[in-house]
Structure 1
Amino acid sequence: MREQLDGLADEPRPGVPRTITDAQVEAVVVRTLEETPQGATRWSKRELARQRGISPSSVLRIWRAFGLQPWRTETFKVFPDPMLIDKIRDVVGLYLAPPANAVVFAVDEKPEIQALERTAPVLPMLPSTPERRSFDYVRHGTVDLFAALDTATEKVISKLSAQHRAVGFRGFLDEIDRQSDPGLAVHVICDNLSAHQTPVVHKWLLAHPRFRLHFTPTYSS
Structure 2
Amino acid sequence: MSHEGQTNAAIANELGLSLPSVSMWRARVASQGTAGLREAQRPGRPRVIGDAQRLQLLALACEPAERYGRSTPTLDELCERATALGVVEQISRSHMQRIMQAAELRPHRVRQWLHSVDPQFREKVNAICALYRRAPKDSVVLSIDEKTGIQAIERKHWDKPPRPARLRRQEFEYIRHGTQALTAALDVHSGRVLARCTDRRTQDDLVAFMERVARTYPRGTVHVIWDNLNTHRAYGVWKAFNARHGDRFVFHFTPLHASWVNQVELLFAIYTRRILRHASHRSTEHLRQRTQEFVAQRNRSHKPFKWTFAGFELQTGQPKRFPPDANTTGPSTRRRTPASPGSTHRT
Asked if these proteins are the same fold (TM beyond 0.5), I'd say yes
SS in 2 for 1:169: helix
Larger proportion of strand: 1
Q: Aligned pair 1:179/2:188, yes or no?
A: no
Q: How far, CA to CA, are the matches of 2:187 and 2:244 in structure 1?
A: 22
Q: How far, CA to CA, are the matches of 2:225 and 2:33 in structure 1?
A: 70
SS in 2 for 1:157: strand
Q: Aligned pair 1:69/2:106, yes or no?
A: yes
SS in 2 for 1:143: strand
Partner residue of 2:233?
A: 197
CA shift at 1:183, angstroms? 3.6
Which one of 9, 19, 25 corresponds to residue 54 of structure 2?
A: 25
Larger proportion of helix: 2
Which amino acid in structure 1 is aligned with residue 118 of structure 2? D
Which one of 97, 109, 131 corresponds to residue 60 of structure 1?
A: 97
Partner residue of 1:218?
A: 256
Q: How far, CA to CA, are the matches of 2:58 and 2:169 in structure 1?
A: 52
SS in 1 for 2:231: helix
The within-5 A match list for 1:31-180 is 31-34=60-63, 36=65, 38-50=68-80, 51=83, 52=88, 53-116=90-153, 135-140=173-178, 142-180=179-217
Partner residue of 2:339?
A: none
1:67-101 deviation line (CA, Å, top 9, x unaligned): 32211234444433233233212211111232232
Q: How far, CA to CA, are the matches of 1:213 and 1:106 in structure 2?
A: 10
CA shift at 1:214, angstroms? 0.9
SS in 1 for 2:59: helix
| CA 4–98 in structure 1, closer or farther in 2 if over 3 Å, else same | farther
| CA 45–124 in structure 1, closer or farther in 2 if over 3 Å, else same | closer
CA contact (8 A) 2:228 2:254 kept: yes
Comparing 111-120 with 170-179, greater Cα deviation is found at 111-120
Identity between Structure 1 and Structure 2 (%): 31
User: Gapped runs of 5+ residues in structure 2?
Assistant: 1-25, 260-347
Which amino acid in structure 1 is aligned with residue 205 of structure 2? G
1:102-133 deviation line (CA, Å, top 9, x unaligned): 2211111012323445678x689698896978
Which amino acid in structure 2 is aligned with residue 114 of structure 1? Q
Comparing 38-47 with 160-169, greater Cα deviation is found at 38-47
SS in 1 for 2:228: coil
Which amino acid in structure 2 is aligned with residue 83 of structure 1? Q
Computed over aligned residues only, the root mean square deviation of the Cα atoms, in angstroms, reads 3.2
| CA 11–207 in structure 1, closer or farther in 2 if over 3 Å, else same | same
CA contact (8 A) 2:151 2:180 kept: yes
CA contact (8 A) 1:167 1:200 kept: no
CA contact (8 A) 1:166 1:201 kept: no
| CA 34–138 in structure 1, closer or farther in 2 if over 3 Å, else same | closer
Task: State the aligned residue count.
Answer: 218
CA shift at 1:191, angstroms? 0.4
Q: How far, CA to CA, are the matches of 1:92 and 1:118 in structure 2?
A: 42
CA shift at 1:215, angstroms? 0.6
CA contact (8 A) 2:76 2:93 kept: yes
CA shift at 1:210, angstroms? 2.1
CA contact (8 A) 1:105 1:188 kept: yes
Q: How far, CA to CA, are the matches of 1:127 and 1:44 in structure 2?
A: 40
SS in 1 for 2:141: strand
CA shift at 1:179, angstroms? 2.7
Partner residue of 1:8?
A: 37
Comparing 167-176 with 70-79, greater Cα deviation is found at 70-79
CA shift at 1:153, angstroms? 1.7
Which amino acid in structure 2 is aligned with residue 217 of structure 1? P
| CA 207–47 in structure 1, closer or farther in 2 if over 3 Å, else same | same
Q: How far, CA to CA, are the matches of 1:153 and 1:76 in structure 2?
A: 32
| CA 9–117 in structure 1, closer or farther in 2 if over 3 Å, else same | closer
